[in-house]
Amino acid sequence: MREVPFTELVEVNPRASVARRGSVPFIGMEDVSEDGRLLRIRERPIAELAPGQPSFRNHDVLFAKITPCMENGKGAYVTGMDGEVGLGSTEFHVLRARPGTEPRFVYHWTRSCRLRQAAEAMMTGSAGQRRVSKEFFTRFRIPLLEQAEQRRIAEILDTIDEQIRAAERLVGKLEDVYASIVRDQLARISDCVSSTVGALFDMQPGITLGPHRKPRKNAHGYLRVANVQRGFIDLSDVASLEASLDDRQRWALQTGDLLVVEGHASPDEIGRCAMVDRDSEGLLYQNHLFRLRTRSIIPEFGLLWLNSDAVRSYWRKMCATSSGLYTINGRMLSQMPFPVPTLEQQLHIVRIHADLTAKIKQERSRLAKLRLLKQGLMDDLLTGRVRVPVGAGDSE
């Protein structure tokens, strides 16, 4: 199969004359999503726009050329514009399908990992301001397919995109339902008999780091603030430190332990909590984390309460900052009020949480499989590795 430069299919940054008065349809970087959707087209006074901004028409493709927007996938297929010509951010390349090329086929190529990885490798400029040059599209080559096959490929990928977006909407609805139901259940027990964190949990800060903790003969994994996210522990990057047998006995985590973040630059992230499971059991933890080991509360209920709206509001009120970092100290955490619902109430809330999170996990897994299927199909179909039959009615 013959390979051709991408510019054989598209014109890059075509020019168009635009009246220098009145308003014009405008698309900025914030008007497109990282999953390839056009969020809106705004009207902007032409006097507010700088010269040299690229022009576009309906069925053109916008391709973000600056890092990190390019790597993150920003771009869109233009449709639904009132008027013949619009202007876009100077950080877009505009790609217009040439006669004999299917515009949606061009769009799907710009969404492909193959093209974006090649573009990233050819970016120019200084760190933080690297861009994809116009010349990239001349250097990047693709197999040449007939327009009828291009159209069928675009239809297949459009269908998968619709399935992905439907799955995304379902996950979003489930997450909203989960948040609403769990919030309601937790609000109902806020008037229960109240105790304190210090009375209900054994509380201990983590290991203080320093040069003497550089791993040597007795390296052991430990959790940092970055590992403790709200509701889960991220084990994708676990650091090591030097730890004696006494250190390990003192600071080794057990399944069911809760870890609370001591400080954060964002007031919404202070006090976030995660629970230790079998995968993180035995790890140590640093001094910017507090470990809570329950005396009477079900750990899963403790996790839900410590991440609840009520507790997050409590920390926002309690923690001030003059340095840009919001912090909790041991006394504040120990004295924080904590409701004590009955065992049956705790179990009821935990079961609701488990049922809803299982459903969300199932739908997220289905969504991940759809995205993986799409990436595989894109590579097979766009490159012509797998050919798409074209009927007589599809021919030009």
Evaluate if pTM is beyond 0.85.
Answer: no
Residue 237 in tokens: 């990057």
Per-residue pLDDT of the chain (396 residues; tens, 9 = 90+): 899 999 999 999 998 877 777 889 999 999 998 888 999 999 999 888 877 889 999 999 999 999 888 888 889 999 998 888 999 999 999 999 999 999 999 999 999 999 999 999 999 887 668 899 999 999 999 999 999 999 999 999 999 999 999 999 999 999 999 889 988 888 888 777 789 999 999 999 999 988 889 998 899 999 999 999 999 999 989 999 999 999 999 999 999 999 999 877 777 888 999 999 999 999 999 999 999 999 999 999 999 999 998 899 888 888 765 555 678 889 999 999 999 999 999 999 999 999 999 999 999 999 999 999 999 999 999 999 999 988 755 655
Q: Do the Cβ atoms of 143 and 105 come closer than 8 Å?
A: no
* Cα separation, 86 vs 78, whole angstroms: 10
Long-range contacts made by residues 15-18, C-beta under 8 angstroms, separation at least 24?
Answer: 15/55, 16/55, 16/57, 16/85, 18/46, 18/55, 18/85, 18/87
Q: Do the Cβ atoms of 290 and 260 come closer than 8 Å?
A: yes
* Cα separation, 301 vs 279, whole angstroms: 20
Nearest one of 342, 40, 337, 5 to 142, comparing CA atoms: 5
Whether residue 68 has a cis bond before it, omega within 30° of 0: yes
